[in-house]
Amino acid sequence: MLHPLKITSTLSDDTRFSIYQYMLQEKDYFTVQKIAEKFQIHPNVARLHLTKLDEINVISSEYEKTGKGGRPGRIYKALESGITLSFPKRNYEELLSWVLEILDEMGPDAIEVGKRICYRKGQKEIQQLIQDKSLDFDMLSFEEKVNVITEAASLIGYVPEITVNDNGKKSIRFAVYNCPYHNEIAQYANFICSLHESFLRGQFDVLFDVHDFEQFESMTDGCKYCSYKINVTK
């Protein structure tokens, strides 16, 4: 088992962490050359970063099968399972599995309670972020509110995209490419996705007058991302 300090020291390099984030978002295979071009670094430096990420098991590597002969090159891809740090040792993953099994056994009533709690947790996270940044909520512009929700979303990987229709109404689109519950949705997708969506709704409801909150892509249906569209007035 990898020591947590090896993982944190590997990801402490800004360029290396950016490479990892980019690979998570794109969900594709990359050669050393593609990473070097994307981040404008020498291929040897790109190879070093990829090797370091491979050593802590956040990306995988394999030889590319081209069928053209010659020495095959390595290709790399981010692992969707991710990693969990616990230092000192805390068995939160096992506790989570217990809670999910309990919710599943208790059925729809428990899940509705869970959705209400997750909604409040989403609200609280945004309220705390506004407080920590010493912002005056009543004075926030639309763009500043988007910046707040973008910062809150950085770890699960969505960047909101804003569109304005002919009537002046705004739509916010975003895609979750780094699902924090990826390891659990295979067994409990029927309610984990609704709990997470309630959390996201709580976040947006603090900042915007939300009229519609629509999911139009889901990883549980084989899509690359969970994508949402939200219509707001301000």
CATH number, domain 4-78: 1.10.10.10
The predicted structure's pLDDT at residue 193 = 86
Q: Please, which pLDDT band fits residue 84 given cuts at 50, 70 and 90? A: low
SS3 8: helix
The predicted structure's pLDDT at residue 172 = 85
Burial classification of residue 104, based on how many CB atoms lie within 10 Å of its CB (0-12 exposed, 13-18 middle, 19 or more buried): middle
Q: Please, which pLDDT band fits residue 90 given cuts at 50, 70 and 90? A: low
Domain ranges in the chain are 4-78, 92-232
> In CATH, what is the architecture of 92-232?
2-Layer Sandwich (3.30)
The sign of the torsion formed by the CA atoms of 102, 105, 110, 112 equals positive
Q: Residue 211 is encoded by which pair of tokens? A: 């009229």
Identify whether the C-beta of residue 218 lies closer than 8 Å to the C-beta of residue 193.
yes
d(CA 217, CA 81): 20
- Which pLDDT tens digit goes with each residue over 17-51? 999 988 888 888 999 999 999 999 999 999 999 99
For the chain, where are the alpha helices, taking DSSP H only? Answer: 4-11, 14-26, 32-39, 43-55, 92-106, 108-132, 142-153, 182-207
Q: Please, which pLDDT band fits residue 227 given cuts at 50, 70 and 90? A: confident
Q: Closest by alpha carbon to 45, among 57, 35, 55? A: 35
∠ CA 82-91-187 to the nearest 5 degrees? Answer: 55
Q: Please, which pLDDT band fits residue 76 given cuts at 50, 70 and 90? A: very high
* pTM (two decimals): 0.66
The predicted structure's pLDDT at residue 77 = 92
